[in-house]
Amino acid sequence: MTEHALAVQRMQDYIETHLEDTVTLSDLARVSLFSPWYSYRLFRRYTGLTPADYQRRLRLSRSAIQLKQGGCRVIDVANALGFGSVDGYQRAFLREFGCNPGEYARTKVPISLFIPYGVKFRELRKETFDMKDVQSVFIQLIHRPERNVVLKRGVAAEDYFPYCEEVGCEVWGLLASMDSLYGEPVGLWLPEQYRKPNTSTYVQGVEVPVDYDGVIPEGFDMIRLPETEYLMFQGEPFQEEDYCEAIRMVQHAMDRYDPAVIHRVWKDTAPRIQLEPRGERGYIELRAVKPK
């Protein structure tokens, strides 16, 4: 990883851990080890945002998550995240998401949350790994009932990074604002029968009940998935900067696994499912099976 990317990552980490505070260019210069002027230029070049805009958007999205979880007053959320006044917070929330925080707390309409990605991940994506030393992977047979998936299609993407280039990384933030059967969005690799012409294999979505009558965001579709058994492959916990290696290790183990040992075969007519890579729980993918 380059010296400049490491400097920006340190600035991102500092903002993350000082979200409620006023972060100055002097603070960022101290952690980046560059001058305030050069730190500002580096931050904007790598993230596309000024440090102030980055912190503001991150604060607002964290506040929306707190409101979605319930039990918080708007005034308490505004104060906890360092906004100068409730009125200022409400105006900023309205500009960012198109609704006021009180309305969002009541209706929980889908909004596009700001999901910050560390610049270190873009650098690590370029690295290659030796897959011969595979770590332990936990495998469990689980059941998914019939359900719908509200999803955003791409154009030709077959994996996460090309998908983000096609539709933007903001899709995940919007999905994270929606209620899910399992508490989080998912990535899916769609078999042919679930794809529309000239659309991507890889999509992102949120699993919802079959009787879902909530909002389907503009540009999104909803598909019905049948009741299915899945093998869940879960790797060991990992350091966040090692996420690429963690994903590849689990996928390598899955490719080598023969479900015949549990009297099953792969069910390739059902989507493969990817959960968000989180270091504390290990990387998780689900692949459908059926009785042999």
pLDDT computed for residue 131 by the predictor: 47
The whole-model pTM stands at 0.71
pLDDT computed for residue 170 by the predictor: 84
Spatial contact of 118 and 240, defined as CB atoms under 8 Å apart: yes
Which residue, 249, 232, 240, 243, is CA-closest to 287?
232
Over residues 155-183, the pLDDT tens digits come to 999 999 899 899 987 899 899 999 899 99
Question: In this model, does residue 266 exceed pLDDT 70?
Answer: yes
In DSSP terms, which residues pair with 265 in a beta bridge? 290
Over residues 191-214, the pLDDT tens digits come to 999 999 999 999 999 999 999 999
Helix-strand-coil split of the chain, %, nearest 5: 45, 20, 40
For residues 233-248, average pLDDT: 88
Over residues 108-122, the pLDDT tens digits come to 889 889 888 777 776
Q: pLDDT grade, residue 241 (50/70/90)? A: confident
pLDDT computed for residue 20 by the predictor: 87
In DSSP terms, which residues pair with 140 in a beta bridge? 232
For residues 253-258, average pLDDT: 93
Show the domains of the chain with their CATH numbers. Answer: 3-107 (1.10.10.60), 137-291 (3.20.80.10)
Question: In this model, does residue 132 exceed pLDDT 70?
Answer: no
- Residue 270 to residue 194: CA distance in whole angstroms: 9
Question: In this model, does residue 273 exceed pLDDT 90?
Answer: yes
Better-predicted residue by pLDDT, 118 or 9: 9
Written in H, E and C, the secondary structure of 194-263 is HCCCCCCCEEEEEEECCCCCCCCCCCCEEEEECCEEEEEEEECCCCHHHHHHHHHHHHHHHHHCCHHHHC
Sign of the Cα torsion 215, 217, 221, 226 reads negative
Which residue, 80, 94, 100, is CA-closest to 19?
80
- Residue 219 to residue 197: CA distance in whole angstroms: 15
Q: How many helices (H) and strands (E) does the chain have?
A: 11, 9
